[in-house]
Structure 1
Amino acid sequence: MRKTRGMSSTVLPSLRDRQKAETWLTLHQAAVASVLERGLDSATVETITARAGVSQRTFFNYFPSKEDAVLGLRTPVMDPALLEGFSFHRDVLGQVSRLLLAVALSAYEGVDQVRRRELTRQYPHLVHRMVERMNEAEDLVRSALTGLLAENPQWFAGMGEEDQPADVADVARIVVMTASIPLRFTVASGRYSPAAGLAPDDLAPALSLFHSVQRKLL
């Protein structure tokens, strides 16, 4: 997945941040090399750290598991700046879908996407770990949306049963689940290239189709 288009100038990382990034990349590359050389089962944390020249304690400061190191996965994060300009007065589905993409990118970016896909094809159970990270990203977005909805109760007023109004957390959950459909559809489509990755504009065709289908269903 490629970086979000149209980003403004960024602050240069500190020496400590650069060193941490280099250690993270060294461990990831060592994990991939160990899997290619030995196979996933034989590529242990011990063999990975020996190849990387660091301690096992250092390994677990960067990755919670061998699978995360092999895939180059990070814990997803929610940048508060992503919520700036969010509005319930325009295309909520599109905004939440793009928010999901941005948070997912924080977990998936920075590695060879083609190699990652090759590894998941060779070891299908690795996909489970990627799904878990996506679920974590959805949890972050759902939590943020719950807060936004709590500040805008008029948006979901009248939802739910007459004697039991919809709960704000439930509304946030179903919105996020719905908004994940265009993202998953785009990734699964033939138009998606692991080498090129995804940017917010790439969701436009799926969002347009979703809106058209939704109008027919209602």
Structure 2
Amino acid sequence: MPDIETETLRSRKARLTRHALHEAAITRVLEEGLECATVANIAADVGVSTRTFFNYYATKEDAIVGLDESNIDEHLVESYVLAETGIEDLAADTSLFIREALLIGSTDPGLPARRRKLFARYPELVSKRFDRAEALEELLAGHVLNRLRFLGQEFASEDSAWRSARMLTQMCRVPLNHAGQTIKRSPELVDDKGGTKEIFEESLGLFLKVLNRL
């Protein structure tokens, strides 16, 4: 799977702006409270206009939650779906794709802990994040299905194709979930290992090893 760094300048700028707004929204809410954080303040913290804010998120709450079913970078999708690797690399490629799509290029290793703190303080946002996560997972499954078809996989029916794609998507989220749980239990590992990416790569390696032994 090609490196995310090969994405277009426009796509990279959009990805980073979207994530910066998400991080700024979390910071504002944790520092000032949900009611006091405003779209105008969040946009100002990132150095963009409110109009630009609404190009990325429909509401303040959407920016806080940080998941949107329309925010998967098209270059990332194309790199995954049309990758020259074969079926033997499908699990690894899909796990990497899911990580990039769900983390949206986060550079802050402390963000997961800040999210947990925010959702503990405002549990009403949890259901919104779950709803968005489900919608985003369905979108991911569509791209996974396109990848399977690109690799020449055939299915008995459209329903069978979608069930297979959804199953593969859910299965290949395991390395990301495992890495997140590892960081939650031992946050000091982020510094010890050199970053969250390294922890994910260890989880991915274990995941692939388990698959090979089944």
TM-score range, shorter chain: 0.5 to 0.7
Whether contact under 8 Å (2:95, 2:173) holds in the other structure is yes
Q: Which runs of 5+ in 2 are unaligned?
A: none
Identity %: 27
Larger relative contact order (Cα-Cα within 8 Å, sequence gap ≥ 6): 1
Residue 141 in 1 paired to residue 140 in 2? yes
User: Would you say the 8 A contact 1:76–1:133 is kept in 2?
Assistant: no
Q: Paired residue for 1:66?
A: 60
Q: Calculate the aligned-residue CA RMSD, in Å.
A: 4.2
- SS of corresponding position for 1:126: helix
Runs of 4+ off more than 6 Å: 50-54
Deviation of 1:53 after TM superposition, in Å, equals: 8.1
- More helix by percentage: 2
Matches within 5 A, 1:115-154: 115-151=114-150, 152-153=152-153
**Residue of structure 1 in register with 2:29 after alignment:** 35
Deviations 1:15-48 (A, max 9, x none): xx869956974x5565345423431134343664
Q: What amino acid is the match of 1:197?
A: T
Aligned to 1:100, which of 98, 101, 105?
98
How many residues were matched structurally? Answer: 198
Which of the residues 169, 180, 188 maps onto 1:176? 169
Distance in 1 between the 2:158 and 2:63 partners?
Answer: 45
TM-score, scaled to structure 1: 0.63
Structure 1 partner of 2:73: 77
Instruction: Say which SS state the counterpart of residue 172 (structure 2) adopts.
Output: helix
Residue identity matched to 2:197: L
The AA in structure 1 aligned to 2:106 is: E
Per-residue CA deviation, residues 101-133 of structure 1 (Å, 9 max, x unaligned), is 122132x62455143343233334434444445
Matched, 1:185 2:178: yes
Separation in 1, partners of 2:190, 2:37:
25
The gaps in structure 1 that reach 5 residues or longer are: 158-163
CA–CA separation in structure 2 for the residues paired with 1:57 and 1:8: 27
* Structure 2 CA distance for aligned equivalents of residues 182 and 24 of structure 1: 22
1:174 CA drift (Å): 1.7
CA distance in 1, matches of 2:35, 2:147: 44
Code of the residue aligned with 1:172 in structure 2: it is A
Query: Looking at CA atoms only, which structure, 1 or 2, has the larger radius of gyration?
Result: 1
Over 3 Å counting, the alpha-carbon distance change for 1:12 and 1:174 in structure 2 is closer
Contact 1:45 1:56 in 2 (8 A): yes
Secondary structure in 1 matching 2:58: coil
Checking the alignment, whether the CA contact within 8 Å between 1:34 and 1:43 is kept in structure 2 is: yes
Alignment partner, residue 197 of structure 1: 196
CA drift of 1:49 comes to 5.5
Q: 1:160 corresponds to which residue?
A: none
| Deviation of 1:65 (Å) | 2.1
Measure, in 1, the Cα distance between the counterparts of 2:25 and 2:4: 33
Cα deviation per residue 1:2-21 (whole Å; 9 max; x = unaligned)? xx9x948657847xx86995
The CA deviation at 1:187 is: 1.7
TM-score in terms of structure 2 length: 0.64
